[in-house]
Structure 1
C-alpha cells in the first residue's frame, strides 16, 4: 500500500514539475547563469528576487543552466524525492522506509520544499549519509562541510560534532567548507567578495516578518517590528542549550543529528517553513524511544501548518490569542528540543542506543 501511495506521489511530482516553474529552483538556475559574471549574482535580482545562497552553491547550480528548463525541473524534483528516500533509509528500519517516505511527503515542510524546488531535501540526505558513516566508524565530515558551503545553516552540525567529542569529523567538515568556499572564490572572486563582505548576514533581502519564517527572530519581528541588538542573547542561549543536549546524547548519533537540526532552526534568523525538514529526525527519535503521543502531536502540526490560516485574518499580529498559531513550528521546535534532553521524558538517557546497535536495527 505504501509503495502504491509513493508511486502516485512521484507521478504527481513529475506532472507538477512539467506544468509549474518552482520559484526557488528558477532562481537557482538563474544564479548559476550569472555566477561568473562579476558581482551580478548579489547586486542584481534574479526573477525579482535576490540570490541568497553562497557563491559555491551558485557554482554547483551552473550546470542546471545547460539543461532545458522543463527537463531540468523534472530531474531536480525527482532528485529531491530520491534524496528524501535516502535520508529516511538512514533513520528508520528498512521495512518501514516506504511508510516513512509516503507519510513524510505529506508533511508541509517536505511538499513545500518540492513546491518551491528547494535544495533542502538534498542537503538533508547528504548530512544524514555523513552521520550514518560516522555511526559505523567510517570517515565522515565531507558531506557536512559541502552542505554548509552550499547553505550556511548546516554548519551547526560541525558545532554539535565538537560538542559530542567527534573532533576528527568536525575538522574534516570544517576543512571541506573552507576548501569549497575557496574553490568558489577562484571561480567567482567578485561575487565571493560581495557575499562574504556584505551579503551573507543581511536579512533585509528577505521578508523576515513573513509568517513562513518560524524562527524566534521572525516571531519577535512580527510582534515588535524593530528587534534590537538584545535579541542576540536568545540564539546564544538556544545554541548553548542545544550544545548541552547534544553532548548529553553524544552516544546516540540519531539524537545528535536531531538536536543539531532543531538547534539550527532555532538559532537561524530565517527558518522558513520548508526549512523545517530538519525537524523530522526528532520525530523519528521520539517514535523510536516510545514517545509516540508527542511525535503524533508534532507531526499533526507539521502536516496542518496552521500558521498559514492566519493570513486570512486582518491584522493577525494584533490578536494575542493567534500568537501560538502564528508561531506553531517555533513552539514545536522548542518542545522537541526540550523533549530530547535526557531526563525530561521517561526512557531518554545519554546512552539510549550505541551507534552500531542503532545502525544494525535500521538495516533489519
Structure 2
C-alpha cells in the first residue's frame, strides 16, 4: 500500500482545519447528543460493564458473576485481558469515564474515515479536513456508530485497531494490533485466518503471538478469572442474549426470526449452510482484496464476516460498514461506486432505523410479513450485499488494474493523474 509516498499524503493550511473542526462539531455533535441525551440508566450501559469489570478487579469481587445495577443487570462477557485494559476506567467517576470514552470514540471515527477515505482526501487537497469532517459526521449518523456511542461500546476501537494494522504502515509490527484486538474480544481473531489466506504469514504469526501473549499474561495475573472464563463463561450463551431478537445481526439471528418453532431444526441447518458459503466467499474476496492492495476493502469484508458468522452479534458491531462504504467511494470518480456508497449509508442510517421499523411492522396486519421480516433483517442482508459490492466494484477492477498497469493503484495510492498534478505543483 502506497502510503509512504509524498504524493499519497494530504495536508492543508490551518484555516481549513478550523473549518473542518466546525463542520465536525455541527455534524457529529447532534448525533452525539441524540445518542447520549437519554435517562442515566440507559446511557453507556456497556461502558458501565467495562468499568464494573475494572472495579471488580480492584475490589476483589467475582468478575463473571457480578451484575451491573438495576434495571440493566448486565454481566461482563469479555476475556480477562479486557478487564485488565478496563482498569483505568475504574479509577475515574463514571461521568468522567463517559465523557472521555465519547471523545475517544468520535476521535477514532475520524481516524477510521481518514484511513478509509485517503484516495478521496488526497484528491481534495486543501479541502481535505472539511471533507473528512463531513464523512465522519455522516458516519456518526449510521446506526452501528450511533448505537456504539449510545451503549459506550468497544466496536469502534476494535475497528480502528484492525484498520490501522492492515491499511497503515505503522512503526509497530504488522499484526500486533489485530492480536491485541482478538485478546480483547475473540471475533477479530478471524483476521488471523485472513492474514494467512492473503499470504501475509509474518503478520499472522505476529497477531497470533500478541493475542497469545496478552491472554497468557492475563492468565498469570488473573488465574482464577481465566479458568472461569475459558472453562465456563465463554460457553454460557444465556449471558449474551436471545438469538432471535431484532438486534442480532448475524446469519443465525436472521434464520431464528424466519419461521415457526417447528421449523427450527431445518432453519438451523440452512443457516449453517449459508454461513459456510458466506465465510468461504467473504474470505476469498478479502484475500484477493489484500493481494490487490485494497486493504481497506479487505478489512471491511473480514470485519463484516465477524458479525455475520457469530451466533449472536449486535447491530452496533457493524461499525465495519464505515470503511466498507468509504472503500466503495474510493476517489469518487466512479458514479456507480459513489451511488453504491450512498445506498450503504442510507441503509444503515439512524433516521431510517430499518430493523426496528420492520420489527414494528410485524404487528401491522396490513403489512406483508415477508416485507416486515426483510426490513427487520435488512442489516444482515445489507452486510452480505456490501461484501458483494466490494468484490464487484472495488476488488475486481483493482486486480485488472494491477495486471494492466504493472501493479495498479492500491487504496491510499493516488491515480496517475494525481501524481502528475502533484509533480507539476498543481
Superposed pair shares fold, TM > 0.5: yes
Shift of 1:165: 0.7
- The answer as to 2:24 corresponding to 1:6 is yes
Partner residue in 2 for 1:207: 242
Alignment-derived partner of residue 372 in structure 2 = 322
Conserved 8 A contact 1:39-1:194: no
Q: 1:219 pairs with 236, 241, 254, which one?
A: 254
| Structure 1 position 241 matched with structure 2 position 308 | no
Q: Structure 1 residues 234, 199: CA separation in 2 closer, same or farther (over 3 Å shift)?
A: farther
Please report how far the alpha carbon of residue 24 of structure 1 lies from its aligned counterpart in structure 2 after TM superposition. 0.7
Question: Which of 273, 280, 294 is the aligned partner of 2:340?
Answer: 294
Larger deviation, residues 105-114 vs 20-29:
20-29
- Aligned: 1:40 with 2:82: no
Instruction: Report the Cα offset of residue 306 of structure 1.
Output: 0.7
Match of 1:175 among 209, 221, 227: 209
Task: Supply the RMSD in Å over aligned alpha carbons.
Answer: 3.0
Taking a change above 3 Å as real, the CA distance of residues 174 and 165 of structure 1, as seen in their structure-2 partners, is same
Q: Identify the residue that residue 45 of structure 2 maps to in structure 1.
A: 23
SS at match of 1:97: helix
Distance 1:38 1:69, change over 3 A: closer
> Could you tell me how far 1:350 is from its partner in structure 2?
2.8
- Corresponding residue for residue 355 of structure 2: 307
TM-score relative to the length of structure 1: 0.89
Look up the match of 1:188. Answer: 222
Deviation of 1:193 after TM superposition, in Å, equals 1.1
Cα distance in 1 between the residues matched to 2:214 and 2:254 = 33
Q: Structure 1 residue 14: deviation in Å?
A: 7.3
CA distance in 2, matches of 1:311, 1:130: 37
Bigger radius of gyration: 2
Q: Which runs of 5+ in 2 are unaligned?
A: 1-18, 122-127
Aligned equivalent of 2:383: 333
After TM superposition, the structure 1 = structure 2 runs for residues 24-173 of structure 1, keeping only pairs within 5 Å, are: 24-35=46-57, 40-47=62-69, 48-93=73-118, 94=121, 95=128, 96-133=131-168, 139-173=173-207
Q: 1:5 to 1:92 in 2, by over 3 A?
A: same
Are the counterparts in 2 of residues 113 and 274 from structure 1 also a CA contact under 8 Å? yes
Change (3 A) 1:219 1:359: same
What are the superposed Cα offsets for residues 151-172 of structure 1, whole Å, 9 maximum, x if unpaired?
1111111111111110101110
The offset of 1:356, in angstroms, is: 7.4
- SS of 1:269's equivalent in the other structure is coil
Tell me if structure 2 keeps the 8 A contact 1:14–1:77. Answer: no
Deviation at residue 220 of structure 1 after TM alignment: 1.2
Could you report, residue by residue, the CA deviation over 1:241-268 in whole angstroms, capped at 9, with x for unpaired residues?
A: 1121122222222221122122222111
Which of 355, 359, 364 matches 2:412?
Answer: 359
Question: Unpaired segments of 5 or more residues in structure 1?
Answer: none
- Could you say which residue in structure 2 is the equivalent of 1:348? 397
Checking the alignment, whether the CA contact within 8 Å between 1:35 and 1:55 is kept in structure 2 is no
Q: Distance in 1 between matches of 2:394 and 2:412?
A: 23
Contact 1:38-1:188 within 8 A present in 2 as well: no
Residue 152 and residue 11 in structure 1: after superposition, are their counterparts in 2 closer, same or farther (change >3 A)? same
- Between stretches 317-326 and 170-179, larger displacement belongs to 317-326
Is contact 2:362–2:369 with CA below 8 Å preserved after alignment?
no
CA shift in 2, pair 1:346/1:66, >3 Å = closer
Q: How many residues are treated as equivalent by the alignment? A: 362
